[in-house]
Amino acid sequence: MENRLKAFESYLAEGAGAAALTSAAYRRDVGEFAAFLEASRPGWDWPSVSENDVLAWMAQGLKTKKRSTMARKLMSLRKFFDFLLSREEIAANPARQVKPPRQGRHLPPRLSVDEAFHLVQGPAREMDGKELSSTQRAAAFRDMAMLELMYSSGLRVSELVGLDTGHLRLDLALARVVDGKGGRERWVPVGGRAMDALKNYLSSRAELAPPGVEQEALFLNQKGGRITQRSVQRLVARFAGELSAGRKLSPHALRHAMATHLLEGGADLRSVQEMLGHKSLSTTQKYTHLTVDHLLKVYDQAHPRAHEAGGEEDK
């Protein structure tokens, strides 16, 4: 079993170009399915697995897991059986005919423009009027640059922490981003405020780097290593609490805000898709639901006849 899973990971990396984290997730899902089968009918083997086995596993998983989670696990299983097919170890893929669970529409938490501005300006408010050491000041500039860049360019948190200094083209106001989901690269525009924040950070970044050590990571922690996703999550959570009591936001909220505000400002869907790095336009289209809600609210508040009941026709 273990050798087969290792071969599956190699198949994903070499044949499908999957990122290491994606391959590891697929492997875990397949291992979970194998454990389920072992518990229900010891002595099973892969050629004997049926569609009913997959359905039973899905049904059990849906008792405790989200539909989106089980849909992803089903995809992992399909890929694994495709791998076994390629090695002629099975005659058919029993997961191919199993439909993923229907997904409810998930709308991300909405940030207004004012709320997004307040959030990204949090480190500047903390610095205001305080005596800071050079290291503390560099860390504050780093935090400003990270928040501004996430909102400016719609980066995933994994993409943000994965940036290297060589990925920036400040002369062109661009950043080269490596998609954490599949290793694809794209160029994203960097807005003026984010540019200013990056320049301030870069001028003080050496305060966070160990003496004599060349560190390619753009955003450094106070020990000189690459900053972690968890650190960025804590940073966003700290300032999200200022927006409303008990409000919880992830770094993804800034990515959502960027997309929604661009669409509300008149950007076309295809351009937003490219900036976000979505493979499918349908993934980007979820933001149009938020935009339509916004337009309806504006109409309801502003149009002089929005609240008039039907009556005599205009003459």
Does residue 231 share a domain with residue 151?
A: yes
Flag residues of the chain having pLDDT under 70: 15-18, 103-109, 180-183, 244-247, 280-315
Q: Are 226 and 168 in the same domain? A: yes
User: What pLDDT score was predicted for residue 106?
Assistant: 57
Q: Which of 86, 106, 128 lies at the terminal end of a domain, its last residue?
A: 86
Nearest Cα neighbor of 51 from 90, 1, 16 is 90
Per-residue confidence (pLDDT) for residue 197, from 0 to 100: 95
Model pLDDT, residue 313: 45
245-278 pLDDT, tens digit per residue, is: 566 788 988 988 888 888 888 887 788 888 887 7
- What is each CA distance from 213 to 51, 161, 203, 216, in whole angstroms? 55, 19, 17, 10
- Predicted local confidence at residue 314, as pLDDT: 45
| Catalytic positions | 156, 181, 252, 255, 278, 287
The Cα 24–Cα 291 span in angstroms is 36
Question: Within this chain, do residues 118 and 70 fall inside the same structural domain, yes or no?
Answer: no
Residue 283: how many other CB atoms lie within 10 Å: 12
Confidence (pLDDT) at 47: 92
Residue 49 is predicted with a pLDDT of 93
Tokens representing residue 87 in the block: 């090695």
pTM metric for this prediction: 0.61
In a domain, 75, yes or no: yes
pLDDT score, position 68: 85
The pLDDT score that the predictor gives to residue 133 is: 92
Domain boundary among 251, 281, 304: 251
Residues 82 and 121 in one domain: no
Q: How many domains does the chain have?
A: 2
* Cβ–Cβ under 8 Å, residues 221 and 208: yes
pLDDT at 102: 77
Residue at 26 is within a domain: yes
Owning domain of residue 80: 2-86
Half-sphere exposure of residue 116: CA atoms within 13 angstroms, side-chain side: 24
Q: Is residue 171 in some structural domain?
A: yes
Residue-level pLDDT at 67? 86
Same domain, 215 and 169: yes
Asked if 147 and 200 touch (Cβ cutoff 8 Å), the reply is: no
**CA 94 – CA 92 distance, rounded (Å):** 6
Q: How is the chain split among helix, strand and coil, in percent rounded to 5? A: 60, 5, 35
